[in-house]
């Protein structure tokens, strides 16, 4: 089965977050076909969490959908933004989606 493109997957994430009452925004558009996706969760109380692609070695079978892991636990914004800058230096084709949600939901499965 073919994997859904990054652009379509991000569009679905945006709709899922909006339907859940959160406020998502695409901060950086990456490669439409296969760009890595990073999700920033802003709980509107000064805490930011970063979720990104799970390492393939972290699961046994090949997943049918994208897998995420928490890269940075809730904390201040500055270290998270610095981490994203490093990721962008390494991969300029990545996507960054920020979700503002008082419940700190990412709307992605994390392992």
Give the pTM.
Answer: 0.89
Paired tokens of 69? 């892991």
Query: pLDDT tens digits for 52-105?
Result: 998 764 445 544 567 899 999 999 999 999 999 999 999 999 999 999 999 999
Higher pLDDT, 34 or 8: 8
User: Residue 30 is part of which domain span?
Assistant: 6-100
- Check which CATH number belongs to the domain holding 67 and give it: 3.40.1530.20
Residue 106 lies in a domain: no
Q: How far apart are CA 68 and CA 65, in angstroms?
A: 10
Averaged pLDDT score across all residues of the chain: 90
Q: What percent of the chain has pLDDT over 90?
A: 78
Q: How far apart are CA 80 and CA 71, in angstroms?
A: 9
- What pLDDT was estimated at residue 94? 96
- What pLDDT was estimated at residue 59? 44
DSSP characters over 17-41: HHHTT-EEEEEE---TTT--EEEEE
Q: How many domains does the chain have?
A: 1
Residue 81's φ and ψ, nearest 5 degrees, are -65, -40
Residues paired with residue 94 on neighbouring β-strands, in sequence order: none
Q: What percent of the chain has pLDDT over 70?
A: 87
Buried b (16+ CB within 10 A) or exposed e, 36-71: bbbbbbbbeeeebbbbbebeeeeeeeeeeebbbbbb
Paired tokens of 20? 């859940």
- What pLDDT was estimated at residue 87? 95
């Amino acid at each position: 089965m073919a994997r859904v493109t990054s652009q379509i997957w991000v569009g679905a994430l945006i709709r899922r977050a909006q339907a859940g009452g959160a406020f998502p925004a695409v901060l950086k558009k990456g490669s439409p076909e296969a760009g890595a996706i990073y999700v920033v969760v802003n709980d509107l109380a000064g805490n930011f969490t970063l979720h990104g692609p799970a390492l393939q070695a972290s699961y046994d079978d090949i997943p049918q959908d994208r897998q995420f892991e928490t890269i940075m636990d809730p904390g201040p914004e500055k270290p998270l933004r610095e981490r994203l800058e490093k990721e962008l230096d390494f991969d300029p084709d990545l996507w960054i989606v920020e979700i503002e949600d008082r419940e700190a939901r990412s709307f992605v499965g994390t392992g």
